[in-house]
Amino acid sequence: MTTSALARKLSAGQCGADTPRSVLRALRLGLARASGESMGLALSVIGAKQAVRAQEDIADRLNEGWLMLLFTSDQGGLAAACLDPGCVSAIVQQQTIAMVTSDPPPERAFTDTDAAMVAPLIEDMLSRALKLVESPADMASLSGYEFSSRAEGRRALNLALVDEVYRMFDLTVELAGGPRQGEVSILLPERPLSDQEQVADITQSGVNLDQASGVIRAELNTVICRLSLPLTALSELSVGDVLPLQGARVDRVEVLSIDRARTAIGRLGQCGGMRAVRINEQGPPSALPAKDCAGFLASKSSLTPSAPDDEMSSPLDDDIVAHDLTTEDSLLEPDDLLPASSEQRVTEISHLAGLPAPEGNGRD
């Protein structure tokens, strides 16, 4: 079993060898390696997320009382690194007493000495992360940073950051194998690329998702009718029993996603010999494009129509969920609704589903 698991890991690593690393992944690896190799502090990133923030929104995302460091770039950009007290205390303890205790750090104001002890770790992390990325945009975001100064608080940090947009990376780290956890936030300015860098970035990014994935199967469920039964009646059901479909309408079925959320209202029909659903067919037939919806065969019945409810309408565009559309379109007219009796409903739905007509009369 161990050999099989190792083989799967090696195979997965070989398959993804040509995939460029993102900045978030590069920062995770860079921080862990810089901490372990530079100061002997075991560090692992157990959580990571990234976002793009406007400059005026950054201060609200940080906590007062963190150590806030500023880094200048040789290209004129200004980045920042913010560490919570638990992370700063572990780094200081490792460099002073060569061990990290599990006791919570005492509340105190950080000094320039704390900044001088923590800044080399962040510089090493950025330098290592730069070597791991391949995209020109990512390389431009990480290159050339050196420690500049310490910000006194969120307001001072917000005033120092002058770029309009920043990429914010939030890392949750585990220190010394578990005794201590901490938070690290990295702020990198979003620098526009030059023409040459844009061309290189497009070439590096490769094909789009639709070109890389090809055909993807998406599973949707269609609900014709919802019933409420007493528990006693449900427990007495047996093979061959028929339930009354009261209020069922093939032109007002619900289309549900995999999490059972209603995504659209549709109409049952057939297309090319297969079951099909037309999504959000609310307008007149003349408003639908004939070329795109050819081949849809809707249910044909004749009874008095019911007024559609406004709350059942869907914002989705007109579309057909079907394959191989080859024949002419036959749309359901406004008067073509599901028959009123249970027997007729069962027969109609069985026809749409491609099932043989039930024998005998259905029970209401």
* The predicted structure's pLDDT at residue 254: 86
Q: How far apart are CA 97 and CA 116, in angstroms?
A: 17
Burial tier of 221 (Cβ tally within 10 Å: 0-12, 13-18, 19+): exposed
* The predicted structure's pLDDT at residue 57: 87
Secondary structure letter of residue 66 according to DSSP: S
Q: How far apart are CA 96 and CA 92, in angstroms?
A: 6
Residue 326 in 3-state DSSP? coil
Burial tier of 181 (Cβ tally within 10 Å: 0-12, 13-18, 19+): middle
Q: Which residue has the tokens 């070597």?
A: 131
User: Comparing C-alpha atoms, which of 40, 82, 313 is closest to residue 188?
Assistant: 82
Would you kindly state where each structural domain of the chain is located, as residue ranges?
20-205, 221-230+243-352
Lowest pLDDT segment from 33-47, 125-139, 189-203, 282-296 = 282-296
Secondary structure letter of residue 330 according to DSSP: B
Lowest pLDDT segment from 23-32, 49-58, 174-183, 318-327 = 318-327
* Inter-CA distances, 72 with 82, 181, 191, 351, Å: 15, 28, 14, 71
| pLDDT band with cut points at 50, 70 and 90 for residue 253 | confident
Residue 13 in 3-state DSSP? helix
Q: What is the pLDDT of residues 22-71, one digit of tens each?
A: 889 999 999 999 999 988 999 999 999 999 988 888 888 888 889 999 99
Q: Which CATH number is 20-205 given?
A: 3.40.1550.10
User: Comparing C-alpha atoms, which of 320, 314, 224 is closest to residue 264?
Assistant: 314
* The predicted structure's pLDDT at residue 116: 94
* The predicted structure's pLDDT at residue 346: 61
CB 253 within 8 A of CB 247: no
Mean pLDDT over residues 253-275, rounded?
Answer: 82
Q: Which residue has the tokens 């509340």?
A: 107
Most confident of 217-221, 296-300, 347-351: 217-221
**In one letter, which amino acid is 316?**
L
* The predicted structure's pLDDT at residue 332: 39
Element (H, E) at 100: none
* The predicted structure's pLDDT at residue 64: 87
Secondary structure letter of residue 362 according to DSSP: P
Tokens of residue 129, six digits: 């992360």
CB-side neighbour CA atoms (13 Å) of 166: 25
For the chain, the distance separating the N- and C-terminal CA atoms, rounded to the nearest angstrom, is: 57
Tokens of residue 90, six digits: 């572990």
CB 100 within 8 A of CB 93: yes
Q: How far apart are CA 254 and CA 265, in angstroms?
A: 5
* The predicted structure's pLDDT at residue 291: 44
Residue 218 in 3-state DSSP? coil
| pLDDT band with cut points at 50, 70 and 90 for residue 193 | low
Mean pLDDT over residues 179-186, rounded?
Answer: 91
* The predicted structure's pLDDT at residue 67: 94
Q: How far apart are CA 92 and CA 104, in angstroms?
A: 13
User: What's the length of the chain?
Assistant: 364
Asked if the model's pLDDT at residue 83 lies above 90, the reply is yes
* The predicted structure's pLDDT at residue 334: 37
